Amino acid sequence: MKTFYSDAHLAHDPPEEFEAGRLTPAVEVPARVERVRAALLQRDIGPILDAGEFGDEPILRVHDSDLVCFLGEAHDHWREKYGVDAPAAIPSAWPSRGHKQRRIGHIESRLGTFAFDTATPIVRGTWAAARAGVNVALSAAQAIRGGDRSAFALTRPPGHHASADVFGGYCYLNNIAIAAQWLADQGMRPAILDVDYHHGNGTQDLFYGSADVFFASLHADPEFAFPHFLGFADETGSGMGEGKNLNIPLPEGTDWPRYEEALNHAIGQIKAFGPDVLLVSLGLDTFVDDPISRFALKHHDYFRMGAIIEDAKLPTLFTFEGGYNIDAIGTITANVLQGFQDT
């Protein structure tokens, strides 16, 4: 399968994130994608191609123009306020109950209005990287549209936590949602499978009321895991989208037998929806030695994951999401793609 890539991601290189009450070294770093790229070059998976340019229109089909405008200028405004040597922009105050949302005005009020956590810093290169990441996802979607059986969008920053007008969870623009909407706008019927350790709250929210896109997510139970406020089993969709959203929250320590059962169930529900394209939010933070997660999948389990996804017998677009064990990320990502391809 073809892999799509852009070196613009290298410019998004935040040194730190604010998490668990302190500034800590960032885990969503350029080495993640570079390690995957190196692993793919070593294996017989297919060519790595540069992304094309798709413009703003596909982004604005999914995201509110206020968020897009904010992300484009946030770092400039932050530097005007705190100086050219200022650290990454991180919010420190939020509009809570009884407060006003502030979409225009001071950088601090806009940061709090558009962000939902403190772990998603904005540095000088963030916007260019996020923007290019969308082009990577759309390039993969175009390959699928052109008849390819599968494609891999090797993109960062990740996207599945970002909704129409909120960013967070290391995500700024929702790459997979933009690709799914782009395919739907061309008459396709997409299903999205999210196998990242964290619930894809942004993707769920974007399609929650829609009958046209099915969303299924396997993830750590929000009872104990980020994003804490969404991803529960009773979230099944609303209005026209009722029954088109499937959450499977899983306990700490989930290993392959338990994961496989949930994955097979999700694939069954996806097939019942009758999609003609499958998009996979491919997070690799389910790995046993992931530094921020608590599942227990091993290297070889990822071949099986790829094989089960192949079993849906659909054109399949994989989009890179989380996964923070730098030494394992290349191998386990390639294992999924190879498990899919060799089945």
The residues with which 24 forms a beta bridge, in sequence order, are 17
Hey, is 303 helix, strand or coil?
helix
Shortest approach of ligand Q9C to residue 158 CB, angstroms?
4
Among 13, 16, 19, 221, binds ligand Q9C (CB under 6 A): 19
Catalytic residue numbers read 161
Q: Which amino acid is at 246?
A: L
Our measurement of the distance from residue 328's CA atom to the centroid of its chain's CA atoms, rounded to an integer in Å, reads 19
170 in contact with ligand Q9C (CB under 6 A): yes
322 in contact with ligand Q9C (CB under 6 A): yes
34 in contact with ligand Q9C (CB under 6 A): no
219 in contact with ligand Q9C (CB under 6 A): no
285 in contact with ligand Q9C (CB under 6 A): yes
Total residues contacting ligand Q9C (rule CB under 6 A)? 16
CB nearer to ligand Q9C: pick between 135 and 203: 203
What is the dihedral sign for C-alpha 304, 339, 232, 288?
A: positive
CA atoms of 202 and 286, how far apart (whole Å) = 19
Structure tokens at 158: 């990740």
Q: Which stretch binds ligand Q9C (CB under 6 A): 138-146, 165-173, 295-303, 333-341?
A: 165-173
Among 8, 88, 119, 246, binds ligand Q9C (CB under 6 A): 119
Residue 182 burial (CB < 10 Å; 0-12/13-18/19+)? buried
Residue 158 binding: pick among ligand Q9C, Zn ion, none (C-beta 5-8 Å cut-off by kind): ligand Q9C
Angle, helices 175-184/126-145, rounded to nearest 10 degrees:
40
280 in contact with ligand Q9C (CB under 6 A): no
148 in contact with ligand Q9C (CB under 6 A): no
198 in contact with ligand Q9C (CB under 6 A): yes
The string of DSSP codes covering 201-250 is: HHHHHHHTT-SS-EEEEEEE-TTTSTT-SS--TT----GGGTT-EEEEEE
**Which residues of the chain form contacts with ligand Q9C (CB under 6 A)?**
19-20, 119, 158, 161, 169-171, 196, 198, 226, 283, 285, 292, 321-322
